[in-house]
Amino acid sequence: MRVAGLCNNAKLRESAPGYTGDPTEGALLVFANGLEDIGNLKNDYPRLEEFPFDSLTKRMEVICRTPEGKLEVYLKGAPEVVVKMCSSSLDSGGGIRNLDETEQQELLNRHLSLAKKGERIIALAYRQIEELREYTGDFIFLGFIGIVDPPRPEAREAIAKCHTAGIKVVMITGDHPVTAESIAKDVGLANSGNLEIITGNELATLSRADLASRLKKSEHRLCSHFSCTKTKNCAAFSSRREIVTMTGDGVNDAPAIKNADMGVAMGSGTDVAREAADMVLLDDNFATIVNAVEEGRTVFDNIKKIHRIHSC
């Protein structure tokens, strides 16, 4: 709970339940606050240094001073990254035991079994240190936290409407491909089973022309998030003269939201994303976008009818 609450930049609301900031960090913060008083925790373990989350390293580290005056690094991030940085783990009795490659693989297998359920999995670890700098090894593995962000009931119907109306839906996510595929199937994005999955590492090697070709071949697409993923996808579709609407809520989403024909930010997202957007969804609901398109097409059709009448 200390790692979840302190290796975190979200903030609890003072006047109402909930949080402000990144949704993943907000979920961790609310969870930790249910077991530990976050205000007291921050006072007892003041932050001395932060190494922010980066989509390339897929991790975040903070250094805090303990009440005993020692220095500890708290680490959270993608399981495949964090587990490989751990040389030991904390067992159920509070003891620390060595973690070999076989045991690391067992942990990663457990991660995949959770990801298949559609959970976003965050790995947590820590270590004691002597100096303020970023560390990449000898961490003590603590455990996984699974975050469930269930699709809204109306999401499946909204995506079906998009397909009927000739609107292509592309899912771009920071989740593990296994998690993302489970969610895509749940909302009807891959009913036919014809799902094109492009990982961030693969996307980095593709030229814009190659990416445009891959996006054109498949009816349904899924891209595992990289810092440049949304912007590159936006450019690929635009190069084919398609009108692109990009949605997002994080700081990394802002460039793609800004460059799209229509940028849509979530009302609960970051200030940077909202400022870059043409429109902000106060209800964070994908179905609202679909309803807006439907309403806009009706208005456009009526304008064309009036124009034809005047022309006659």
Task: Categorize the per-residue pLDDT at 217 as very low, low, confident or very high, splitting at 50, 70 and 90.
Answer: low
With respect to residue 167, please indicate whether it lies within any of the assigned structural domains: yes
Paired sense of beta strands 170-173 and 220-224, if any: parallel
Q: How far apart are CA 84 and CA 254, in angstroms?
A: 31
Strand extents, DSSP E, the chain: 11-12, 19-20, 47-54, 59-65, 71-77, 86-90, 96-98, 120-129, 139-147, 170-173, 195-198, 220-224, 245-248, 262-266, 279-281
pLDDT at 181 over 60: yes
Q: Are 233 and 213 in contact (CB under 8 A)?
A: no
**199 and 268 together in one domain:** yes
More confident site: 14 or 12: 12
**79 and 102 together in one domain:** yes
Task: Categorize the per-residue pLDDT at 169 as very low, low, confident or very high, splitting at 50, 70 and 90.
Answer: confident
Of 10-19, 185-194, 212-221, 301-310, where does mean pLDDT reach its minimum? 212-221
Global pTM reads 0.73
**How many domains, the chain?**
2
Mean pLDDT of 287-312: 85
**Mean predicted lDDT score pLDDT of the chain:** 87
**68 and 171 together in one domain:** no
Mean pLDDT of 175-199: 79
Please identify, among 124, 147, 170, the residue that sits at the C-terminal boundary of a domain. Answer: 147
Highest mean pLDDT among 169-173, 192-196, 208-212, 224-228: 169-173
CATH number of the domain at 236, please: 3.40.50.1000
**60 and 165 together in one domain:** no
Neighbours of 167 (CB within 10 A): 14
pLDDT at 93 over 90: no
pLDDT at 220 over 70: no
With respect to residue 305, please indicate whether it lies within any of the assigned structural domains: no
**219 and 273 together in one domain:** yes
**206 and 101 together in one domain:** no
**194 and 67 together in one domain:** no
More confident site: 230 or 292: 292
Please identify, among 147, 167, 183, the residue that sits at the C-terminal boundary of a domain. Answer: 147
Mean pLDDT of 266-288: 90
Please identify, among 95, 115, 147, the residue that sits at the C-terminal boundary of a domain. Answer: 147
What is the span of the domain harbouring residue 50?
A: 2-147
Exposure of 65 in the CB half-sphere (CA atoms within 13 A) = 8
With respect to residue 18, please indicate whether it lies within any of the assigned structural domains: yes
With respect to residue 311, please indicate whether it lies within any of the assigned structural domains: no
pLDDT at 206 over 70: yes
pLDDT at 90 over 70: yes
**221 and 193 together in one domain:** yes
Residue 69 confidence (pLDDT): 95
pLDDT at 213 over 80: no
Mean pLDDT of 261-281: 91
**176 and 287 together in one domain:** yes
Q: What is the pLDDT of residues 74-88, one digit of tens each?
A: 999 999 999 999 999
**254 and 213 together in one domain:** yes
